[in-house]
Amino acid sequence: MGAALTGFATGFSLILAIGAQNAFVLRQGLLRKHVFPLSLFCALSDALLISAGVLGFGALVTALPMLPVVMALSGAGFLIVYGSMRFLAAWRGGYEMELTGNSRSLTATLAIAAAFTWLNPHVYLDTLGLIGAISTSYASWDARISFGFGAVLSSFVFFFSLGYGARLLAPIMTRPASWRVLDVIIGVVMWGIAAGLIQGVSAGAIQ
C-alpha cells in the first residue's frame, strides 16, 4: 500500500504542472467538448509510458547495474532545475491562459492531444526515466507494480478531475495569486523528490 501511495504522489506531482497538454484539457473542459475521450486518451498514454518505465527498466538494470544510480541522479538534477523554474515563475508572475475559441472535432482534438503528449520530451524523462528509476528502489516486483499502479491511477484521477472539474477551477485559476501558490507547491514537491533520490543513492538504496 505504501508503494502505491508513493507512486500516486510521485505521478500526481509530476503531472500537476500546467503545461500545454493540461491547459488544452482544461480548455476543453471549460467548453464541455470531448472531455471523456480526451481525458481517457491522455490517461492511457501516461499509463502506457509509465508501464514501460516500470516493467522495462528492470530488464535494463540487469544488463547495466549502474543505470538506476545514473538515472536517479539525472532525475534529481532535472527535478532541482524544474523546481527552481517553478519558484522563478511564482516570483515573476505574469500568468496568462488563452481559453477562448471554438471547439474542434473529436479527431482534431485527439490529434492535438497526441502531439502535446508524444512530442513532449519531458514526458519520456518523467515516465521512462524518473518513474522507472524510482521504481527500482523497491526490491520486489509486487512493490514495483504497486508503485506503477499508483502512478497510473494518478494520471486517471488528474485528467478526469481536470476535464470535468474545469468549470469549478476556472474562477480560481484565473487569479495570478493562485498560480503563484500552485507553482510554489510544485517546486517544494519537486525538490522533496529530488532530495529523496539523492538520499537513496547516498544510502545505497538505489542500486
The answer for residues whose C-beta is within 8 angstroms of residue 83's C-beta and 6 or more apart is 186, 187, 188, 189, 190, 191, 194
pLDDT of residue 183: 84
pLDDT of 99: 42
- Whether residue 98 is predicted with pLDDT greater than 50 in this model: the reply is no
For residue 203, give every residue at least 6 positions away whose Cβ sits within 8 Å of its Cβ, in sequence order, or none: none
pLDDT tier for residue 59 given thresholds of 50, 70 and 90:
low
What was the pLDDT predicted at 121?
Answer: 60
Residue 74 makes CB contacts below 8 A (sequence gap 6+) with 129
Q: Exposure pattern of 16-51 as b/e (b: 16+ CB <10 Å)? A: bbbeebbebbbbbbbbeebbeebbebbbebbbebbb
Q: What was the pLDDT predicted at 1?
A: 65
pTM exceeds 0.75, yes or no: no
Least confident of 88-97, 108-117, 133-142: 88-97
